Amino acid sequence: MTLQAEVTPVGTLRFELLCTDPTGARRGRLATAHGDVETPTFMPVGTYGAVKSLSPEELMAAGARIILGNTYHLYLRPGHRVIESLGGLHRFISWPGPILTDSGGFQVFSLAALRRVGEDGVEFRSHLDGSLHLLTPEMAIEVQNALGSDISMVLDECPPATAPRDDIVRAMSRTTAWAARCKQAFGDGKSRALFGIVQGGVQEDLRREHAQAIVEIGFDGYAVGGVSVGEPPERIHGIGRLMGGLLPPGAPRYMMGLGTPTDLIELIGSGFDMFDCVMPTRNARNGTLFTSRGLMHIKNQAFTGDPSPIDPGCSCYTCRGFSRAYLRHLHLSKEILGQRLNTIHNLFFYESLMTAARAAIAAGGYAAWSRLTLGLMEEGWS
């Protein structure tokens, strides 16, 4: 059974479902005030208002059309009112395209040295200076409204993968109440959107129950949270298949915080439209590169004199102009240029993967494309 939202959407985000592959993979389009986004799409993560080491022009050249901003970090530094006074986050960071901001809840639960969760919100001490703060649903919306993001997220409680069932149930109940308060604080008639978040751990009955509760409140889109906190891939993919068949088909579906190319291919096939993850940028800085034949560790001695590009089939700026030997030299020398070139390649790879997935869905051949793509990645370069 597919859940249907009976409540009028919150904002004015338009989502057009263009076609659906026999696997359930979807080809769509998000229309926002800052431009259209073709889906499935991958959103690079700009934690502090910047995708590490890259300029907005380089992001656009890599194929990114929407990025993610981090509410928690921008709230603490430089402050949402500072950003608002400077014209909002788009102008502050000189990014012309759409921006999605998270609620800040995940960072509170994962970074705050001390925190106390109550029905009103989360009291926490900043990881920067120890100052005391209270993040309520209303405050999460206030900050995101000040930032001016195109898509805002409700405040949710994200329990760890190992949490007992009773703790997960309490987190679900609190997330539902906070979601309703976020919607009320957000208001209506905005040119922006508000997404609800489904929790429930890896327990299917809890996921079903919470999806029903969040859909009944009614949002512009629906995200699945709590699936990148230690669960094994097969459990994550199982939750993805369950949610992909359950969430309203007329709204965008966002799988938060994932993941590897294998994760993305699997979850696109389950009907998800939006993804984000720090993996391509973080791995780039560590010298791990994503390619059509799987992972490449550029520090390996085998690349000392290798004149080849990272991936001969890749047309990114890095692969067009630089050799594996040079990238290995930069990595071992700890040169910033190496991190930048690696990041350009990894993000280009992720965005190209989304482009290829969209084409396969449009052609009705997603299953064959995904088998071929995953098979090549498993082969490796040896």
Residue 8 pLDDT greater than 60, yes or no? no
Residues 6+ apart with CB under 8 A from 196: 154, 179, 214, 215, 217, 219, 221, 222, 223
* pLDDT of amino acid 382: 53
- Contact between residue 198 and residue 214 where contact means Cβ atoms under 8 Å apart: yes
Closest-CA residue to 369 (of 352, 356, 350): 356
φ, ψ (nearest 5 deg) of residue 67? -125, 165
Choosing from 156, 263, 276, 311, the catalytic residue is: 276
pTM as predicted: 0.96
Average pLDDT over residues 294-300: 97
For residue 307, the tally of other CB atoms under 10 A from its CB is: 9
Choosing from 21, 102, 150, 220, the catalytic residue is: 102
* pLDDT of amino acid 229: 67
Query: Two tokens at 318?
Result: 């890095």
The question of whether 102 is a catalytic residue gets the answer yes
Q: Which range (28-42, 158-172, 240-254, 316-330) has the least confidence? A: 158-172
Query: Which segments of the chain are extended strands (E)?
Result: 14-20, 26-32, 35-39, 41-43, 45-46, 67-69, 99-101, 115-117, 122-125, 132-135, 151-153, 193-198, 221-224, 253-255, 274-276, 288-291, 294-297
pLDDT digit string (tens) for 333-376? 999 999 999 999 999 999 999 999 999 999 999 999 999 999 99
Structure confidence at residue 250 as a pLDDT band (50, 70, 90) = very high
Average pLDDT over residues 201-214: 96
* pLDDT of amino acid 9: 62
**Dihedral angle sign, alpha carbons of residues 198, 99, 363, 371:** negative
φ, ψ (nearest 5 deg) of residue 124? -150, 160
For the chain, the C-alpha Rg in angstroms (whole number) is 20
Residue 47 pLDDT greater than 80, yes or no? yes
Average pLDDT over residues 290-294: 97
Structure confidence at residue 2 as a pLDDT band (50, 70, 90) = confident
- Contact between residue 63 and residue 54 where contact means Cβ atoms under 8 Å apart: no
- What's the whole-number average pLDDT of the chain? 94
* pLDDT of amino acid 107: 84
φ, ψ (nearest 5 deg) of residue 341? -65, -40
Report percent pLDDT > 90 for the chain.
82
Average pLDDT over residues 129-133: 91
- CB environment 195-220: b (16+ within 10 A), e (fewer): bbbbbbbbeeebbbbbbebbbebbbb
> How remote is the C-alpha of 100 from its chain's centroid?
9
Residue 7 pLDDT greater than 60, yes or no? no
* pLDDT of amino acid 112: 59
Average pLDDT over residues 139-163: 93
Average pLDDT over residues 44-53: 96
Query: Two tokens at 119?
Result: 């029905």
pLDDT digit string (tens) for 66-120? 999 999 999 999 999 999 999 999 999 999 999 999 998 888 777 656 788 889 9
Q: Which range (52-61, 62-71, 222-231, 357-366) has the least confidence? A: 222-231
* pLDDT of amino acid 110: 77
* pLDDT of amino acid 271: 98
* pLDDT of amino acid 106: 82
Ramachandran bin of 202, using left for φ above 0, alpha for ψ from -120 to 50, beta for the remaining angles: alpha
Query: Two tokens at 302?
Result: 């085998």
Distance of alpha carbon 14 from alpha carbon 78, whole angstroms = 31
Higher pLDDT: 322 or 47? It is 322
